[in-house]
Amino acid sequence: MEFETFKAVDSFQVANLERKEPSCFNGIVEVRKYKVTVELVEETDEVIRERIQLMWDKLDNHHHIDPLRREAAKYGLKL
């Protein structure tokens, strides 16, 4: 299985996936081992600016204004 996401993989997500021992809980038996690799997809600043601008154009929650402006500034975009 391979997929892409915009969700940053932080310690919470890692802790949710990490299991040191096999288990059986609520009828789910977990005995197979998986290797998970997280890799940042490198994209140009232009692509990221376009994505931020699209989010800004569709903005429908005033709580997102400041966070989007701060992120945009990191890429030289003024909203």
What is the domain partition of the chain in residue ranges? Answer: 11-74
Which own/partner pairs from 42-51 qualify as long-range (CB within 8 Å, at least 24 positions apart)?
Answer: 45/75, 45/76, 48/75, 49/75, 49/76, 49/77
Report the distance separating Cα 38 and Cα 29, nearest Å: 25
Report the distance separating Cα 77 and Cα 54, nearest Å: 12
Question: pTM (2 decimals)?
Answer: 0.76
Tens digit of pLDDT for each residue in 11-55?
999 999 999 999 999 999 999 999 999 999 999 999 999 999 999
pLDDT for residue 75? 97
Paired tokens of 40: 């940042």
